[in-house]
C-alpha cells in the first residue's frame, strides 16, 4: 500500500493502558496533545496484556474510547500490533515461546523482545490478536497506518530455530558438499556430513567458522522477515488495507534492513542522538547519514517514529537537550526527505525501566514546562512547512552500506581486531559529499547504480557475485568511483578471493593491493601530495589504523605515504577506465583529507549543489524535489550565525529569513522552480 500524507506527522508513542484508572489524565492527554500541535500517536505497542488479559479473553473497548477521544481532537492513530512484549500467561502456558540464548539457556519471562520468531504457538497467538485489532480498528477513520510489532531484533537458538536454520541452509546450498566448500570447513577439520549436523554459533560451541556466523545472521533476518510477513498477513486477512511500517533502529547491526524494508510500505525509525557528547555538527551528521540510510532503504519517503523530547534515561548520561536542540533534531528528518517527527513518548510512565525517559508530558503533568513549549514550537513549524510533504530526494552520490559485508568484516579476524573504525571512515566519506551540499543515498550491493554520478565504497570487504562487474560497467559508462583499502577481499560466504584484490576491479583501479598494515592506536602515518598531481592536492594529511600497500599498475599516484618502510608508496591513486574515473584511497586518512580530495574530484567532474557560493562550516544544505519545484533546507549546526549560500536564481521563502544570518540550531526553508537538474 502506498503511504501518502499531506501534513507532516507530529506525535509519538502513547500508552493509555498505563492510566486506565485515571480517566482525568486520559482526558487531559488529548487536550495537551492538541495544544502541542501533535496530529498522530502510536498506540498499543505494549498493550497486549491489557487487550487480552487472559488467554482468549479480549478487552478492546478501552482502546476504542481512546481512539475516539483522540479523533475528536483531530489526532490520528498509528496502531501497533502488540507482539513486541507478550503477556506472562502466554509464556507460562507455552514455554516454547521463550527464547533460547546462544549458550542454549531457555530464558525466563522478562523484559521484552524475547520471543521465538519460529514458534508456531507464538505465531498463532499473534495472528489472533492482530486480527482482532484489525477487525475492530482497521477501518476506523482515525487509524492511518499499522505499526507492526516494535523494534524487531534479537535471535533464538531453540530446537525449532535450529531446524529452520538447517532448512534455510539446505535451500541455499542444496548439497552438504557445496556448503563445506563455500564455508571452507576443512579448516580445523570441521567438515559436515549432513545438514542435520549443523548448529547455530555458540560461545560453548562454534564461534570461529565465519561463514556459519554470516549465514546465521542472514537467517535471523530471513526468519524475522518471515515472522513480520506473518504479522502483516494477519491484518490483511482481517480486511485492513492500510499501509504498514516497522520502526527500525540506528544503524542496527542485528538485521539487514534492506531486506526487511521490502515487506513494509513505509520505513520509520527511532533516533536517540547523544547531543553534547561531541560538537553538534558531528552528532547531526551521524544522525543525518542514518536518515539518508532509512530513506534509501526503499528510495521513498520515511519518517522518524521515535526520538526523545528531553533526556534519554537508558543512556549513560541522561543529558538535557539545550534549548533549540529538539527543534533542530526534529527538522532533520524533514530536511532529509522524511514526512514527520514523532517522539517516544507522549506521557511518561510512572514505574519500571523507562520511567525517567523524557516525554512530551512529564510526571509533573503541566504544560508550563520548557519541554512542552519546545514540542509546541516543533508542531507549529511542521505545520508551517507542510507543503514539502510528498516531495522526494534526488542524490548524485551512492555510498555503499551493505549489511552482509559489514557483518563479515567485523567478524573476519584481522587486520585490526581492536577496531577497524569502519563507521568513522564511512562518516568521513559521507561528510566529504555532504559538506558540498550533495545529497547521498546509501546502497547495498543489490541496489541499482543507475542514475548516480558517483559511487563511493568505504571498506567494501565483501564483493558478492556480480558486484564487481556492476561497478566496472558503472565506471566504463562514465561514472566516478572512489574505493578504499580493504575492499573486494572476500566473496559472499567470506571466502577470500585468490589471484589479487580488490577482486574484479584491479584493471578498473589500475593497481593491486599487496599487503595491509594494522597500526597501533598510538601510531600514525601521513599522506603527502605528489608534486603537480592532477587534482591539485597540496596538503599533507595524517592517517591511522590501516595502511594498504598497493602495487600500481596504470593508476596515477596523487599522494604517497610519508613514513615507515613504505614511505613513498602510493596512498591515493586515480585511474581512467572507459569513460569513467576510479580513485583508490589506501589508508584511513583524516577527515580533512576526505573533504579536500572529494571537493577537488567533484570540481573536476562538475558535480555541485545548486547554490551559489561556498557552504560555511557546520551549515547543512539539503534539497527535496517535486516535478517542478526544489526545496532548500538550511540547518545551522555550528556554534556561530552563518550567512546562507542562496539558490542559483529566483527563490521564495517557505520558513525563516534567507537574507539574515542563520543562528545556531536554526532553520531556513526556501523553494525555487527547477530550471536546471543537477542529477
Give the shortest CB-523-to-a copy of itself separation in angstroms.
8
Known binding-site residues equal: 112, 116, 150, 156, 158, 161, 314
SS3 label, residue 351: coil
Known binding-site residues for substrate equal: 112, 150, 314
Residue 138, number of CB atoms within 10 A of its CB: 18
Nearest to 274 by CA among 331, 321, 330, 343: 321
Distance in angstroms (rounded) separating the CA atoms of residues 549 and 517: 8
SS3 label, residue 109: coil
Give the shortest CB-393-to-a copy of itself separation in angstroms.
33
Q: Yes or no: say if 479 and 455 are a contact pair by the CB < 8 Å rule.
A: yes
Measured torsion, CA atoms of residues 28, 33, 36, 40, in degrees rounded to the nearest 10: 180
Q: Which one from 52, 155, 231, 306 is the annotated catalytic residue? A: 306
Measured from the CB atom, is 88 or 383 closer to a copy of itself?
88
Beta strands, E only, 187-273: 244-249, 266-270
Known binding-site residues for Zn(2+) equal: 116, 156, 158, 161
Question: How far from 371 is each of 314, 364, 540, CA to CA, in Å?
Answer: 19, 12, 46
Q: Which helix (H) or strand (E) holds 544?
A: strand 541-552
Give the shortest CB-410-to-a copy of itself separation in angstroms.
13
Measured from the CB atom, is 362 or 604 closer to a copy of itself?
362
Whether 354 is catalytic: no
Measured from the CB atom, is 318 or 576 closer to a copy of itself?
318
Measured from the CB atom, is 111 or 676 closer to a copy of itself?
111
| CA gyration radius, the chain | 26
Measured from the CB atom, is 191 or 533 closer to a copy of itself?
191
Distance in angstroms (rounded) separating the CA atoms of residues 393 and 302: 11
Give the shortest CB-32-to-a copy of itself separation in angstroms.
14
Nearest to 442 by CA among 457, 463, 462: 457
Residue 192, number of CB atoms within 10 A of its CB: 16
Give the shortest CB-257-to-a copy of itself separation in angstroms.
24
Whether 648 is catalytic: no
Q: Yes or no: say if 622 and 666 are a contact pair by the CB < 8 Å rule.
A: no
Give the shortest CB-112-to-a copy of itself separation in angstroms.
5
Distance in angstroms (rounded) separating the CA atoms of residues 665 and 435: 17
Measured from the CB atom, is 263 or 564 closer to a copy of itself?
564
Residues acting as catalytic residues: 151, 306
Amino acid at each position: 500500500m502506498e503511504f501518502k500524507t499531506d501534513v507532516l506527522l507530529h506525535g509519538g508513542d502513547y500508552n493509555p493502558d498505563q492510566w486506565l484508572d485515571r480517566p482525568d489524565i486520559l482526558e487531559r492527554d488529548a487536550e495537551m496533545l492538541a495544544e502541542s500541535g501533535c496530529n498522530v500517536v502510536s498506540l498499543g505497542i505494549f498493550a497486549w496484556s491489557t487487550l487480552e488479559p487472559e488467554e482468549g479473553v479480549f478487552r478492546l473497548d478501552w482502546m476504542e474510547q481512546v481512539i475516539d477521544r483522540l479523533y475528536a481532537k483531530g489526532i490520528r492513530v498509528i496502531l501497533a500490533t502488540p507482539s513486541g512484549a507478550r503477556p506472562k500467561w502466554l509464556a507460562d502456558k507455552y514455554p516454547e515461546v521463550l527464547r533460547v540464548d546462544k549458550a542454549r539457556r531457555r530464558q525466563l519471562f522478562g523484559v521484552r523482545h524475547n520471543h521465538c520468531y519460529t514458534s508456531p504457538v507464538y505465531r498463532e497467538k499473534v495472528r489472533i490478536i492482530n486480527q482482532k485489532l484489525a477487525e475492530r480498528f482497521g477501518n476506523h477513520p482515525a487509524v492511518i497506518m499499522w505499526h507492526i510489532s516494535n523494534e524487531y531484533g534479537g535471535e533464538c537458538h531453540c530446537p525449532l530455530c535450529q531446524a529452520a536454520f538447517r532448512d534455510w541452509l539446505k535451500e541455499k546450498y542444496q548439497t552438504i558438499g557445496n556448503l563445506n566448500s563455500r564455508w571452507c570447513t576443512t579448516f580445523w577439520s570441521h567438515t559436515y556430513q549432513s545438514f542435520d549436523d549443523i548448529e547455530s554459533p555458540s560461545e560453548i560451541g562454534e564461534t570461529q567458522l565465519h561463514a556459519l556466523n554470516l549465514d546465521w545472521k542472514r537467517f535471523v533476518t530471513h526468519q524475522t522477515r518471515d515472522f513480520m510477513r506473518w504479522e502483516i498477513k494477519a491484518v490483511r486477512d482481517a480486511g485492513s488495507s492500510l499501509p504498514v511500517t516497522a520502526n527500525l533502529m540506528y544503524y542496527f547491526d542485528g538485521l539487514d534492513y534492506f531486506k526487511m524494508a521490502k515487506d513494509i510500505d513505509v520505513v520509520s525509525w527511532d533516533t536517540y542522538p547523544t547531543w553534547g557528547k561531541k560538537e553538534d555538527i558531528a552528532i547531526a551528521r551521524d544522525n543525518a547519514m542514518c536518515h539518508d540510510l532509512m530513506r534509501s532503504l526503499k528510495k521513498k519517503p520515511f519518517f522518524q517514529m521515535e526520538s526523545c523530547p528531553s533526556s534519554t534515561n537508558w543512556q549513560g548520561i541522561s543529558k538535557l537537550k539545550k534549548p533549540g536542540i529538539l527543534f533542530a533534531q526534529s527538522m532533520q528528518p524533514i530536511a532529509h526527505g522524511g514526512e514527520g517527527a514523532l517522539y517516544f513518548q507522549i506521557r511518561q510512565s510512572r514505574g519500571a525501566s523507562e520511567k525517567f525517559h523524557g516525554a512530551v508530558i512529564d510526571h509533573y503533568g503541566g504544560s508550563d514546562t520548557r519541554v512542552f513549549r519546545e514540542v509546541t514550537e516543533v508542531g507549529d513549524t511542521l505545520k508551517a512547512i507542510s507543503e514539502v510533504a510528498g516531495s522526494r530526494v534526488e542524490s548524485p552520490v551512492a555510498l555503499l552500506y551493505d549489511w552482509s559485508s559489514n557483518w563479515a568484516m567485523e567478524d573476519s579476524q584481522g587486520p585490526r581486531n581492536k577496531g577497524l573504525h569502519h563507521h568513522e571512515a564511512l562518516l568521513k566519506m559521507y561528510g566529504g559529499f555532504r559538506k558540498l551540499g550533495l545529497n547521498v543515498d546509501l546502497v547495498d550491493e543489490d541496489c541499482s547504480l543507475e542514475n548516480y554520478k558517483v559511487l563511493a565504497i568505504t571498506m567494501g570487504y565483501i564483493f558478492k557475485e556480480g558486484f564487481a562487474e556492476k561497478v566496472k560497467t558503472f565506471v566504463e559508462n562514465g561514472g566516478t568511483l572512489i574505493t578504499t583499502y580493504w575492499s573486494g577481499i572476500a566473496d559472499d560466504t567470506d571466502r577470500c578471493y585468490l589471484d589479487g584484490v580488490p577482486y574484479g576491479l584491479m584493471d578498473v583501479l589500475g593497481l593491486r593491493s599487496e599487503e595491509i598494515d594494522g597500526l597501533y592506536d598510538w601510531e600514525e602515518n601521513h599522506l603527502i601530495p605528489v608534486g603537480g598531481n592532477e587534482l591539485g592536492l597540496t596538503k599533507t594529511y595524517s592517517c591511522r589504523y590501516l595502511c594498504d600497500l598497493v602495487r600500481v599498475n596504470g593508476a596515477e599516484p596523487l599522494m604517497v605515504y610519508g613514513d615507515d618502510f613504505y614511505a613513498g608508496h602510493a596512498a591515493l591513486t586515480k585511474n581512467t577506465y572507459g569513460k569513467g574515473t576510479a580513485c583508490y584511497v589506501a589508508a584511513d586518512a583524516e577527515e580533512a583529507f576526505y573533504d579536500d580530495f572529494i571537493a577537488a574530484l567533484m570540481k573536476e567532474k562538475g558535480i555541485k549543489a545548486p547554490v551559489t557560493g561556498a557552504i560555511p562550516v557546520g551549515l547543512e544544505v539539503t534539497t527535496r524535489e517535486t516535478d517542478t519545484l526544489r526545496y532548500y533546507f538550511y540547518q545551522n549546526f555550528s556554534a556561530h550565525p552563518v550567512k546562507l549560500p542562496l539558490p542559483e536564481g529566483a527563490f521564495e521563502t517557505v520558513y525563516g529569513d534567507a537574507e539574515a544570518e542563520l543562528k545556531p540550531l536554526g532553520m531556513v526553508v526556501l523553494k525555487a522552480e527547477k530550471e536546471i537538474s543537477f542529477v
